[in-house]
Amino acid sequence: MKVTKAIIPAAGLGTRVLPASKAIPKEMLPIVDKPAIQYIVEEAVQSGITDILIITNRGKSPMEDHFDRAPELEQRLLASGKQDLYDQIVDLTKIANIQYVRQKETKGLGHAVWCAKPFVGDDPFAVLYGDDVIISDNPACGQLCRAYEEFGLATVGIKEVTAEQILKYSSLKTEPLRDNLFRVTDMIEKPKPDQVLSLYSILGRCVLPSKIFGILENTKPGAGGEIQLTDAMLQLARTEGMVGVDYVGTRYDMGNKLGILQASIEVGLKHPEIGVTLREYLKNLAKTL
C-alpha cells in the first residue's frame, strides 16, 4: 500500500536550544535561508507524501504562518518586480495539504503521534521528527516508504552511532536483509554498556502501520514520565519484527546547538548564492584556529 500521509511532531519544548527556542519554535530556526520545518516538508513531498499533519502546541503559530499566504508581502514583492521571490513564497503555500493539531500537554513523542490518530485512520504513515533535518539526493523518508511498501512492516530509519552515544539512544538488534536493509527484532532504550544490542539506533524517520495506535493506547509513561514511541515500537519489533533502513543522507539534529551550526555550514557550502564566499571565509578562518 502506497504511503501518502506523514506526521511531523513539532510540539517539543526544545529545552536544549534555549533561549533561542523560547519565543520561536526550534523547527523555525533557519538553515541558510529556509527554516528547518521547510526542509522536512520538502523531503516528505519529494518522497510521494501528499497529506501532512504537523503536531504543534502553544507558541508554534509561526510554523502555520510560514505555509500560509501573506497578501501584504506578496503584493510588495510583485510591486517591486521580485517575481522569483514571489513565486517561491506562493508555491510554498501549495506544496502539500498541510494540517495542524495541537498536543495540549507535552507528554512525549508517543503521545504526540497519538494525537494524529483521526488524521491517519487505517492508513500507514510516515513520521518525520520535527527537529531532524536530513539532506540527501534520495529523500530519506522515501527510502523508508519504499521499504514499507515492499515488506508491509513498521520501518525505521537507522544509523550507527558511537559507543558513547548509544547509551543515550535506543540500541537495536539487527540482522542483515539486503544492501542497507535490516530486520529489527528487539531494541532497548538507553542501554547500560553490557545491554547494548548494536550501535544501530533509530534516528529521525519511521513509517508505521495504524495498529501502532492500539499499542500506544496501552503504553504506560516511560522515561521522564513521557509516553515513549520507542516503547510502542518495541512491541512491534518483538511480535512481528520491523525493517531498519540505514538511509543514505546526512542528518542534522536541530534540537542541539552543534547540530544547528553544522547544518548551517554544510548546507551553506553547497548553496548557489553563498557557497563560494563561505568556503573562502572558512578557509581563512581555519588558518587562524
Site of interaction with ligand UTP (CB under 6 A):
9-16, 55, 103, 106-109, 111-112, 129-131, 255
Cell of 285: 578562518
* Angle, CA 141 vertex, CA 135 and CA 145 arms, to 5°: 155
Count CB atoms within 10 A of the CB of residue 257. Answer: 12
Cell of 108: 512525549
Query: In the complex with ligand UTP, which residue's Cβ is closer, 108 or 209?
Result: 108
d(CA 166, CA 188): 10
Q: How far is the CB of 61 from ligand UTP (least distance, A)?
A: 15
Q: How far is the CB of 253 from ligand UTP (least distance, A)?
A: 8
Q: How far is the CB of 12 from ligand UTP (least distance, A)?
A: 2
User: Which residues lie across from 9 on neighbouring strands?
Assistant: 55
Query: In the complex with ligand UTP, which residue's Cβ is closer, 55 or 77?
Result: 55
Query: In the complex with ligand UTP, which residue's Cβ is closer, 115 or 245?
Result: 115
Query: In the complex with ligand UTP, which residue's Cβ is closer, 6 or 11?
Result: 11
Question: Cβ-count burial of 166 within 10 angstroms (0-12 exposed, 13-18 middle, 19+ buried)?
Answer: buried
- For cell 554498556, the residue is 193
Cβ within 8 Å of residue 186, ≥6 positions away: 172, 173, 197, 234, 237, 238
The residue with its CB nearest to ligand UTP is 12
Q: How far is the CB of 53 from ligand UTP (least distance, A)?
A: 11
d(CA 275, CA 79): 30
Query: In the complex with ligand UTP, which residue's Cβ is closer, 206 or 242?
Result: 206
Q: How far is the CB of 268 from ligand UTP (least distance, A)?
A: 23
